[in-house]
Amino acid sequence: MESPLLQLPGAVPADAPDQEIAAHYGEPAQEQRALEAGTAFVDRGNRGVVRVSGPDRLRWLHSLLSQHLERLAPGEPTQALLLGPNGHVEHHLHLVDDGETTWAHVEPGTAPALTEFLDKMRFMLRVEVEDVSDAYAVVTVPESAEVTAAAPVMPDVTGTARIIERGALPALPGTLRPAGIWAYEALRIAAHRPRFGLDTDHRAIPHEMGWIESAVHLEKGCYRGQETVARVHNLGRPPRRLVFLHLDGSVDRLPAHGDPVEIPGGRTVGFVGSAARHHELGPVALALVKRNVPVDAELLAGGVAAAQEVVVSPETGANAKIELRRTAANRT
C-alpha cells in the first residue's frame, strides 16, 4: 500500500523492499541529522502489522517463538524469531502486549505468510490472529512526540516505533520534519542492527546475526529450531558472522544488496546485506561473512574496498574461548 506521504513535496520513492515509502524528501543528509537530533519522524508504513488477541495468546506465542513471552508484562517491548525446523530464521518480530492484545510489526510483505502459519497453529486455543497491515502503520518518532498509538511504544534505532491508524499518516508531519527511509537505514546500519531479508538469507541462524541477546531466550522450553540454537550456543562457532564495513569513501557508489564480499585474491567469503551513506561515518554496510575470515582482513564489498568491524565474534557461544583471529603479519 503506497504511503500518502509520497505526495509530500520532494518525496522520492525508495527501492525494494521499501518502494511504497519515501527514500528521502529532497535533503537526505539533513533528514538524517534531524532524525538523530530527535526533530524528525520516519514513515515505515510498508511494514506488516499482526495482531494477536485472546486469553491464551502469550502462552501460545511462547510455545512457537524464540522469546520468553509467557509472562510478558503489558507495555514491555521485546523481539522474537520464528525459526524453521533446522533453526533458520523465517520471521523477525518486534512485539509488545497491551494487556489484552499482542501487537507485532514485521518486514514488508511478510505479514500474510506469518499470519497464515500462526493461524494453522491455533488448534483449540483461545487466540485470534489478524493481519491488520491495511488498517495500521508503523512510524518512528522522537520519544517526546505526542502521537496517538494503538499499542504501547517500542524502542527503535532512534526514538520510538509506534503503531498508529493508517488514516492518521497524512496529519503526522505537524511540527516534525519527515525523514526518508535512507536516513533511518543509515542509523540502523551504524548501530549494527541487521534487518531480516536484507542482511539475512534463507540459511541465516540467530547466532550469526547477533540476535541471541535481543530475540532469543536461552532458558525457555521447546520451540521449533531450538536444537540448532542450543547446539551453536553450547559448542560455539556458527558458520558465518555479521560484520560492519567501513567502505572506501572515494568510490561514488555503494555496493548493492547481495554483492559478493571477497578477500584479496578474489575468493568470495560472504555477501553484502545493506549499505548506506552515514552523515558522519561516510559509506557503511553490513555483511555476512564466513566465520574463519580474519577479523582484520581487508575486504572488497561489491568491488569497493572495505575495512571490517566485528559485530559477531567468530568464537561466539557459551563455552567458546573468545580470541579474535589476527592475520600472520599482525601477530607479535
pLDDT of residue 1: 84
Tens digit of each residue's pLDDT (9 = 90 or more) over 109-136: 999 999 999 999 998 899 999 999 999 9
Task: Give pLDDT, residue 315.
Answer: 83
> Cα 249 from chain centroid?
25
- Which helix H or strand E contains 120, and what residues bound it? helix 111-120
Report which of residues 221 and 15 the model is more confident about. Answer: 15
| Nearest Cα residue to 78 out of 281, 183, 224, 216 | 216
Provide the grid cell at 56. 491464551
Residue in the block written with cell 560484520:
243
Identify the band that residue 319 occupies on the pLDDT scale cut at 50, 70 and 90: low
pLDDT at 330: 36
User: What is the spatial order of strands in the sheet that 40-43 belongs to?
Assistant: 154-155, 160-165, 136-141, 40-43, 177-179
Alpha-carbon gap, residue 91 to 143, rounded angstroms = 27
Residue position matching grid coordinates 579474535: 324
Tell me the pLDDT of the chain averaged across its residues: 93
Answer for the pair 139, 42: CB distance below 8 angstroms, yes or no: yes
pLDDT(320) > 80: no
- What's residue 124's pLDDT? 86
Q: pLDDT tens across 93-102, in order?
A: 999 999 999 9
Categorize the per-residue pLDDT at 76 as very low, low, confident or very high, splitting at 50, 70 and 90: very high
pLDDT of 184 higher than 50:
yes
Q: What per-residue string of b and e applies to 83-97 under the rule 16 or more CB within 10 Å gives b?
A: beeebbbbbbbbbbb
pLDDT for 258 equals 97
pLDDT (tens digit per residue) in 132-181: 999 999 999 999 999 999 999 999 999 999 999 999 999 887 878 999 99
| pLDDT reported for residue 265 | 85
pTM of the shown model: 0.93
pLDDT at 169: 93
Rounded-to-integer distance, Cα 290 and Cα 116, Å:
34
